Structure 1
Amino acid sequence: MNKYESVIIVNPNVDEEGIKALEKKFTDIINNDGKLEKIDNLGKRKLAYEVKKNNEGIYLVLTFEANADLIEELQRNYRITDEVIKFIVIRIEE
């Protein structure tokens, strides 16, 4: 298994309960076939440019270990989740 870091930018209009629900959803997906190390909520930050008509976003950083198959499934879920406005998944070199 490789180590990955995923940065997700969530719509700034999502409330605290919505953020917790997203964290649980992505945690469950990762823990099905991988191992979540930590989730950091960096809070609301200004974006460098407008994304989906938003100038701000809530940043979540997930650090986890997983196989390549899980990354595809995770990215698919990011795409179909309306609250996620931008994301990236990066493999961390050990």
Structure 2
Amino acid sequence: MRNYEIVFLVHPDQSDQTSSILSKLDKITKDSGGKVHRSENIGNRKLAYPIQDQFKASYGLLNIECNQEAINEIKNSFKFNDSIIRNLVLAVKKVNSDPSALLVQTKEDNEKDSYQEAREAANKAEEEEAKEASKQNVEKAAENIEEIKEENK
């Protein structure tokens, strides 16, 4: 048995199928007597260049140990699955079961995005408070002007 790393991209409109594709590939591997060392649903990411007029895709990653029959079946399933827009099957010498750099980067990007969204919400709240404070200041100034006018009469 050999070690393989498999990466595939799923059409963004069908990104919910990524998990089911991963489980199907896990099943093919285990049914052939192989092992799954890593199975990751990385999620939607921006592509470096458009593939089939798509600028985003959902990534799936597998590190498996299996025989050639299982790899042939996996490649065949990629051919006949319209939701998979690109795939790559690599034979590797060493099994890597650590989280992939792409998954780690995606999590970091999501954390940055949520931090930025929270920061924007806080800035918007501050702007609203500043607008409200300026309205109150304008109203007080108008009242003071009215009082001064009445005193001068």
Q: Under a length normalisation based on structure 2, what TM-score does the superposition of the two structures give? A: 0.57
> Matched residue of 2:13: which SS?
coil
Deviation at 1:19, TM superposition (A): 2.4
* Structure 1 residues 27-42: aligned runs within 5 Å: 27-33=26-32, 34-42=34-42
How many residue pairs get aligned? The number is: 93
Number of the residue aligned with 2:114: none
> Matched residue of 1:55: which SS?
strand
Number of the residue aligned with 2:132: none
| Code of the aligned partner of 2:20 | A
| Code of the aligned partner of 1:35 | K
Deviation sequence 1:24-44 (CA, Å, 0-9, x none): 211111111121112112211
CA RMSD after TM alignment: 1.3
Number of the residue aligned with 2:43: 43
Distance 1:26 1:67 in 2: 13
Distance 1:59 1:21, change over 3 A: same
Q: Unaligned regions of 5+ residues in structure 2, if any?
A: 95-153
Greater relative CO, 1 or 2 (CA 8 Å, sep 6+): 1
Number of the residue aligned with 2:148: none
Deviation at 1:2, TM superposition (A): 0.8
* Structure 1 residues 2-41: aligned runs within 5 Å: 2-16=2-16, 18-33=17-32, 34-41=34-41
Runs of 4+ in 1 over 4 A off after TM superposition: none
More strand by share: 1
Determine which structure has more spread, i.e. the larger CA radius of gyration: 2
Distance 1:8 1:2 in 2: 19
Number of the residue aligned with 1:74: 74
> Matched residue of 1:87: which SS?
strand
Q: Between the two proteins, what is the percent identity of the paired residues? A: 28
Give the conservation status (yes or no) of the 8 Å contact 2:18–2:60: no
Deviation sequence 1:59-80 (CA, Å, 0-9, x none): 1110100112221111010111
